[in-house]
Structure 1
């Protein structure tokens, strides 16, 4: 055995001390509470039903009793709390049901996609379901109809948000022009 091989095999057998890692310290920040914040276990705080929620302040829970583990309902806040309260009453807040894939949408009878925002992306998999790969279509308030380039199914966006949405203006953004923008108005589908 050569000297280099012997030195290498001996070096592998020597235990190596790992470098000492300094333990990380964690900092905590005290959260500020307002007068309307319910305290955990406060007897005056109450759980509101979905119908009684009028503002963001109503989406703060009273919390769990001291010494107990809170449930999702007792600790969830904001949109998560609104979703849980809605599901308790059988209301699907975010409308997570899949789009119908048992038919192909036409301009006279399109597949309707509801949106509370200015635009939404809908995925078309064809009819019957999964007959082609997912084609993503962008529907907007300015352009509510879109047609799948693969199967020809037509989708329409129904805007269900506030009528005077302050985010509607996109600060000068203009959608890119396509060949459809140069078609004479008398040739448009009605």
Structure 2
């Protein structure tokens, strides 16, 4: 037994080294990136201030310098780029502020919802806020007023988009809008 104890005590004194595994080799692929080379007649890519944006071409970014990590401003295009440029100057392009819920809208003084599209959905939570579950109201250019059936608050859609929407392809052919209780109210009580 003394030999076994001696071997055990010697094993405790020797530092333990784990078995070394060969390090994994990494294969790398070199990707060549050509610098942004505008075609003849195109302006060179540069960041344009928000108030100088006139066409869709102005919303194309210059891209990041080679060897750097691109930021959102370097790589965003279209509406996202317009939103970022607007926020840099303190302009909220999409007006993401919540609707006022400190009052109940009436036909004389409705809660105004701005929309750049032909239709928008607005969520009513009552007055004061969160006094009932969210009721979704559909407002459109054809029917700009809508009343919440829970609290009676009236909402009006103000169309702020282009007068002639190029994306409106009149795909609504043969579609009849569903009837609501407003269709059964006497015309004398309709809003004007």
TM-score bracket, shorter-length normalisation: 0.7 to 0.9
Residues 158 and 76 of structure 1: is their aligned pair in 2 closer, same or farther, counting only changes over 3 Å?
Answer: same
| Alignment of structure 1 residues 26-175 onto 2, 5 Å | 35=39, 44-166=44-166, 167=168, 169=170, 170-175=172-177
C-alpha contact 1:137 1:148 (8 A) present in aligned 2: yes
How far is 1:37 from its partner? 11
C-alpha contact 1:36 1:57 (8 A) present in aligned 2: no
How far is 1:168 from its partner? 6.9
Distance in 2 separating the partners of 1:163 and 1:112:
19
Moved over 4 A (4+): none
Structure 1: gaps spanning 5 or more residues: 1-32
From 177, 180, 183, the counterpart of 2:182: 180
How far is 1:182 from its partner? 4.2
Structure 2: gaps spanning 5 or more residues: 1-36
Q: Which has the larger radius of gyration?
A: 2
Residues 68 and 178 of structure 1: is their aligned pair in 2 closer, same or farther, counting only changes over 3 Å?
Answer: closer
Distance in 2 separating the partners of 1:62 and 1:148:
47
| Cα RMSD after superposing both structures | 2.3
| TM-score where L is the length of structure 1 | 0.73
How far is 1:78 from its partner? 1.3
The number of residues matched between the two structures is 154
How far is 1:177 from its partner? 2.8
| TM-score where L is the length of structure 2 | 0.73
Residues 113 and 37 of structure 1: is their aligned pair in 2 closer, same or farther, counting only changes over 3 Å?
Answer: farther
Distance in 1 separating the partners of 2:60 and 2:39:
12
